[in-house]
Structure 1
Amino acid sequence: MRELGGIGSVCLRCRFRLLVASRTRARHSASTSSPAAVIQDRQSSAQFRNGGHETTAMPMSPGSLANKPATIPSKTPSGVPRSAIPGRRSSSVAMFQSIVENQSRMPSALGSSASGTASIELVKDVARIQTMMKQEGATLAEAYAYFEENVYPHMIKDAAGVPQIVKNQLGTVLLDRLALKKPRDFALSRLPSVTRITEIMIMLDVLKPAAWATLVIELVQHIYRQKTVPEAYDSVKQYETAMALRDALLHDLLGAWRVFCAQMVPPSDSGTPTKAPQTNEVKSKSSRPGAEPQQQNTLQNAFGAMFPQYLVPSLLRPTFAAFATYKLLTDPLNRSRSTDGEAVPFLQMMKGLIFRARPPRRKDFEPIFNAFPDLPRFVWPKKQAKDETNTVLNAGSVFRDNSDPKRRNVHRQLGEAINRRNLSMVNKAWLEFWGAAATPDDARTSELAECSEMFDYFIMAYTMMRRPNQAIEVWNSMERVGIQATIKTWNSMLQGCAKANNAQGLRTVWDKLTESGLKLDIAIWTARIHGLFLCGEASAGIRALDEMVKVWAAREDPQYAAIAVQPTVEPVNAAVAGLLRLKRSGDVMKVLAWASKQGINPDIYTFNTLLRPLVRRGDMQAIDELLATMQSINIRADVATFTVLLEGSLHQIGDLPPAQQVAVVERILGAMKSSGVDINMQTYAKILHLLLREGDRAEAPVKAVLAHIWRRGLELTSHIYTMLAEHYFSRDPPDAAAVTALITNRRLHENKAIDRVFWERMIRGYCQAGETGRALDIFDRVFAPGTMITFGTLYELLRPLVAAGDVAVAMRVVEAARKIGRVDDDRGGRGGAPQGDVGEGKRYWKHRFWHLAFEHGLMGEQLAERFREANM
C-alpha cells in the first residue's frame, strides 16, 4: 500500500485515484490473510449520542491520547509497510492510530478477522480523508466522491459492526463540513443535496441537531430570497429558469424533512402529530380541574416529544427550521404548486404540533435571529407599509397573480407584451385568458370571476396602447362575469394614459371617475399627479396637488365627500420627482415648502429623489447638507440612498491607490450594514458595475466585493457574471483565457440560473477575440438544442466562419438560425418570426445575417426563395 507520506508529490485528483487503488488492495489482502481476532470492548469505547452531546466513559481521556506518542505499526495485517501520517497530528488522528494499534495487538478470535480488518480499514479511510482535506487545493466535492464510492458502501453492509467512534470522526471530518459548505452550493449542485447529507448523517447516527438545522435554515432563507414575481426578471425565460431552480430547492428541502421525520416517534397521548384533535376534545381537556393549560406547551417541547432520541434543549434550531419551512410552504406568495402533494405529510405533522402547542412567538427563537437576521421578516411579516410613488405606479406591484399555472402564464405573457408594447401579444394573451367563446360557459365564468386583477391589467395594457374601445370591451366583459369595477380598475386606466403620454385621456378618465361617486384613495390621487407630470403637464400636476388639499379642507361638503382624501407625502413625492425629471429644480423647494405648511413631512423617498441630481452634479456640499438634514429629523438611509451615493463615491476610484480603493468599498459596505440596510445582489451588481467602469485600475476593490459576496455564502448572478466576462473581453487584447477560466471554475455550463443574455455575450466576445471555436462550442451547447438567440449574435458567429471558409459549419449555423433565430431589439428584446404579422416578417428577413448567408450561398433553395420574396 502506498505510504501516506508520499501523497504530497501527487496532484489532488491523482491522490484520490491512488487511494481508491490502495483501498482495493487492502481489502483484497484482508480477505486472503489468515484469521486474526480483533476484540473491541464496546463498553469502554466512546459512544456518542445526539450528535456528540452524550458520551460514555473511555479507558483514557482524549487529552492523554493526544499527549502520548501514538504510532501505526510498521506492518499492516497484510504485511505491507506503512508510515505514520505526516505533518502535525491532531488529537483525533492520534486517537484513531491508537485504536488501530490496540486492535492489531489483540489476541485472535476465530471468525473475527475479516470484520476486524474491515473496521481498521475504515479507520484508515477516515484518516486518509482527513489528511487529504489538509492538502492545498483539496476540494470537498472530491473527498465526498471518494467517500460515497469507496467508504459508504462498506459501512452500510455491516453498520452495526462499525465502531461508533469511527462514524463520529467521519461526521466531523466530512459530513459536518458538507453541512457547513453546502449553503454556498445550493445553485451549483457540486456537493450532495441536503436530502442526501441528511440520509447519511442519520444512517451513521452522527446527526447533530443544531448543525443540521442550520443547514436547513440556510436553505429556507435561500429559497425565501428568490424572487417569485415575474416583474423581478428581465424576460420570461429568465423567470422560468429561476422558478425551476427554486422548485428544485423546495424538493430538496422537503426531502430532507422526509428523511429526518422518518425517525419520528408518535407521542403516546391521544392526540397525534399528524392530525389535530377536534375542538370539543380540546375544551374537555383544558376544562379539567387542575389540568395545566394546553397553551403552556411550547412548540419546541411538542417537537421534542416526537424525537426523544435528541435532547429537547438541542432542538431549538430544528424547531425553528420546521416552523420556517411550514411558513414557507403555506405562504401564498412563496409556495410552489410543484411541491403541493409532496408537502402534505410535513404540513399535517406541523399543523398537529402547532395545534397542541401555544402559538410560536418571535422571542421563542430570538437567539437564532442573530445568525439569520432576514428570516424574522419572512416568518413574521409586518403589515405592508404604504406604497411609495414608485411602487404604486409600478404595474408589476399592482398586478400580481399567484393562482393556477394557466393564469400565471397569461400574466407573464401580458407583462412581456406591455414591456414590448406589442398589441398583437396583448390580443393573444386576452384570447387565452377569456377563451374562444364570445360568452363563456358557467364553469369558465366562475373561474373568471376570481380574476379581477387580471381584468384591470388588461385594461391598463389596452389604454397604454391607445386602444380605448378594446379597454372598454374588457371592462364590459368583466361586468358580464359579475365583477364590479373598483378603484384599482380606474387606477389601471390612469396608469395606461400616463404610459401612453395621453394627458387628455387622463383628464377624461379622472372626470368620469369623480362623477362615478366611487370613494377615492391616496393611490389614485398619486397616480393622477404622477401621470400629469409624466405627460409633461407640470403646471397641471401642481394644480392637482393643490386641489387635493382644498378638497380635503371641504370634505364636509357632500359633493366632495367621496373624492376627499387626506394629503400625504406620496403625491408630494410624485410632484418632486416629476419636477426634477422636467428639469424644474427651482420649483422643487417651493413644493416642499408648501407641503411643510400643510403639515406633510418628507420621507426617505423624498430625500433619495433630491439626492440623485446632486450626486450627478457632484455637488458635495449640497449632498452633505441633505444627509445632515436627514439625520436631524431621524430619517435613516436605505438601500436606495446608498445606491445613489455609490455613484458619487466610486466615481474615478481608479485614481486612488489599491489599498485605499479597498478601504472605500469596505467603508461603504460597513456603513450599509450598520444602517440596517440589506445588501442584496442588485446592490452588489451596482457596485461592481461602477468599479468595472474603471477597468483594471479597480481590480483590487472588485476582488474585495467578490470576497464579500462569497463570505456571505451567496452566488453571483447571471448579470454579475456577464459584467465580469465583458470586462475581460474589453481588455486590449481581449483576455479570452480569463473568460474561459471564469466559465470553467464557476461551472457556469451547469448553472441553470445563467440566462441566455450571458451566453450570447460570450459568443460575441469570443468571436471578437478570434476564439471562434469556443463561440461555436457555446452555440452547440446552449442554443442549438432550441434556445432562442438573436440574429445580431448569429451574425457575429457567422462572419468569422465565412471568413475562414468553413462552409459546412456555416451552413449548419444558418439552418439552426431558421429555427431559433429572433430579431434583435435594443428596447427590450422584441423578437419576431415570419409567422407574425407582415411587417414583422419582412423585418425578420431583412436582417444582415440573412443577407450574409444569401451572399455566400449558405441557404438551401427553399430558404433562399423565402429570402428573395421578403426582400423584393
Structure 2
Amino acid sequence: MFATRTICSRCRSKVLAKPLAKSTAAAQRLTTSSSTTTDTNSPVPASKFREAIVQAAGEPVENADSILSRKRQRGTQRQNTKNRALHLFESTVNAAQQSESGTNIDAGQLYRLGSDINAALENKDGLSLLQVVAQCFAIVHDDILPVLRQPGGERLPKVTYAKATQAMRKLLEVKKSAWESPDLPRTADICNAIGELGMKSPGRLDPYITLLQHLLRVPDHDADPSTSSDAFDLRLLEDLVACWQDLSSSRHIYRARGLGVRRTGLRNHGQANHATSSCRAEFPLLASLDMSKLVVVLASTYIVLSDPRALQTARDEHVQNLLADLEFLVKPFDCATLQPFFSDYPDLWQYVSVRATWSSMQFSPSAKPPTAARPTSSLKHNAPNTTGTHRRISYAAWHKRLGSRFKANDVSGLNNAWEQLTNTADDPQRQEKLRNCPELFDFILHQCCSKQGPEGNALQQLAGRVLDYMEDIKLPPTIRTYTSMMEGWKIAKKLQPIEKLWAQVVKSGMQLDEHIWSSRIAAYGSLGRPDDGLRSLDEMNQEWEQACKNGSPSLAVQPGIASVNAAISGLLRVDRLDAVHRVLAWASERQIEPDIWTYNRLLSHMLKKGHMEEADRILTSMKTSGVAPDGATFTIILETALAEMGTQTPDSQRRTVAKVFAEMSACGIEPNQETYAKMLHVLVRAGNVARVPIEAVLAHLRGSGLQPSPEICTILFEYYFSRRPRDWDAIRALIADRRSRTRVLTDRVFWETVMRHLNSAGDNAGALEIFYDMDDWGIWPALPVLEPILRSLTDRGDWDAARQFVQTVMRQERSPAADQGGRYWKHAFWAIAKDYGLMEEGST
C-alpha cells in the first residue's frame, strides 16, 4: 500500500531524479545573463515578425554524429533488454520492445498472411461467399495494408500479392451482386485498398465508377435518368463523398512516393493546351493508366454533387468544399470534349450530358481562383461556411475545411480556401467578422509553421500573407498567436525561427505567459539543445526573482511544475535521460514538486524503451514521495503490456490483465468506472487481438460489483460494430442488457450511437425500434441523429412510418421547440418533413 509520508519538496524531486541517472552527482548551477522586459505591453505590427517566418525552412536540427552515437547506444540497450526476461512489478506485466526507427518487417509474416487468404478462399468451413470475401478483406485491410505503410514495406512477396489481388477481385464480384449488404466494406475502403496494393486491373477507379452507376440507377426502367427526381440513397452518396476525398488525398501520396510529375498550378489552366492537362498534373499515375476513367469519375462526381437531390441528402458544408476542388478539374471540359470519354459508359453519359451545360472555362494566370459554384436547391439550408451579411464566420466549419487540406498538404487548395475566406465581394462585413475570430488565424499560422519540405516552404509564404492580412484588418497578433507559431516550428523541427521570433517578442515588450515559456523550453529539449532549455529555465527564474525584488511580480512568470514538465517532455522525445536528471535536480533546488503527470510521463517512456528496472524505481520513488498512482498510471502499464498480447495465448492474456489489476490492488487503487473506460479505450485500439483482454476487463468489472457505464457501453458497441465481420451476437447482447437497465441509467449517448450505426448499416427497423423505446423512456435523441433515419424512410417510400416518426418527434416536449422562430425548427429534419407533407396542418 502507498503510505502517505511527510517529505519536503527538495527531497521529493531528488528521489524522483535518482533512478534516471547512474551518477548521483548534483547538477551544476547554470548561469545565464538575465533578459530584461520593458513595462510596455503594446504589440508590435505583424510585419516585423516576417523575417522569422521567411527564414524558417531548411534548418538542420542536430549534428549527425550525435544522432548516430545515440542510436548505437540505444541499439545496445535494446539488445541487452531483449536477451533477458523483462518483467514489471515482480514479473507481472510483459513489456513491449519498440524500435525508434520503426517496426521491422517480418517476411515470414507476409507469407503467412498470403496463406491465410488462400485458406479463406478455399472455404473448407463451408461459409457463404459473402462471409468468405469479408474475411479476406479483413486480412488485407487489417494486416497487409498496415505493413505496406511501414518504412521498407512498399513491396509484397509475389505469392502474397497474388492472393491479395485475387481476394479483391472476388470481393468486387460479390459486391456487384450484394451491394446493399452491410457486412461488405464501403466502396471507398475498397478503392483505397486497391490503390495501396497497386492493382491495375481492376484499378481503384473501377469500383468508383460502379458506385456512380449504382447511385444513378432508376427503379423504373422506362424512366429517363436525366430527368429522374428520385432522391439519392444517403449511404451511397456518403460513400461517393468518401471515395472522392480518398482519391483527392491520393495525389499527394503519389508525389510523396516519387510517382508524380511536375504539377501545373490550379491557376494555370489558361496556359494548358488541352483540357486534360490539369487532370494529368493532379493525378499523374491514374491519368497514365486510364485517362478516360479518370475524366468519367471527376465529371460524374462533380455533376452528382451539384444535383439538388444531393443537397437534400448531404450536408452543404461537405458538398461545397468538394465542389470547390472539383470545379477546377472539370470546368476546362465542355459537353463536346467530355462525350468521347463516356463512350464505354452510356448510362452515365445519359445523366451527365443534359447537365454539362457550362462553357469551357479558361483561367488567366494572373486571375484569382473563382469562388466555387453554389448549386441551388428547393431546401434552403444554412451552411456554416456560407457568406452573408447577417451570418457569422463559423470557426468550426472553416477549421474543418482548412484542417483537411493541411492534413493532405494541399497547398493550392489552401490558397484557394484563403482567397474565399478573405473575399469581401459577397460579404462587405467579412473583415469585421474575421476580426472577431482571432483563433482561426492562430490555427492557420500553427499549421503553416508545422510543415516541412516543399509544401512547408510554400506554406511559409501563406503564413506571411496571413500576418499581413491581420495587420490590414487591425487585428494585432497576441502572445497566443506567437505561441501557436512556435509550437508549429517545434513540430517541424525548426529551431532557428523559434529563436528569432522569441527575440522579437522579448524586444517588443509583450507580456509573456507560462505557455510561451513552456513552448520555448520544450523546443530546446526536443530539438537537441537541452543545455539551452536549462538556461531558459534559469532565465525564467531570474526574471521572476528580479520582478519580485522590484515589487512587480505580475510582470514576470513564476517557474512551476508546468515548465519543468515541458522541459522533460521535450527531452524524453529524444531519449535524453541525462538531461532529464539535470532538469529534476534544477527543480529540486527551487522546491518545485513533481506531480503525477511527471511520474506518468517518465513511466511511459521507460516502459516503451524496455527499461524495466528504471520503471520499477520510478514507482518506488512515487511510494516514497507519497504520490499515489492514478488510473492513468495503470493504463500506461496495460498499454505497454498490450504490445506483446498479440503473440500470447488467450490464457496468457487473461493472466496479464489479472496481474495488472492485482498490482493496482497492491498499490491501494480501487478501479472505478473511469479506470475501466480508459483501459477499454486502450484495448479496443488493438483490434481483434484484444477480444480476450476485453472480456477479462469486463469480467473483473462485474466481479467488483459494478456495471458498465454508458461510456463503457458506447466504447464496446463501436468496437463490436467495427469488427469485420460484425459481431452481431455481442451487439444484440449489449443492446438487450442496456435495454433492461435504461429506465435507471438514461444513457442517451449510447442509444444515439446505436441508432446511427444501425441506420447506416441498413437496419432502419432496428433504429426505429430503439427510437420508440427511447420515446417511452423519456429520452429524446438529437435531430442530427434523427435526420438520416427520416431520409432513409422517404428514400424507400415508407410514408406511413415516416409520418408516424415525424409526428412522434413533434409531440415530444423539447425545450428548444418552444421558440417558434428558433434554430430548432430550422433544422433540415423539419425541412424534409415539410417537403413531403409529413407534418400536421398548421404546424410550424
Give the TM-score normalised by the residue count of structure 2. 0.36
Larger Rg: 1
More contact order relative to length (CA 8 Å, sep ≥ 6) = 2
TM-score scaled by length of structure 1: 0.35
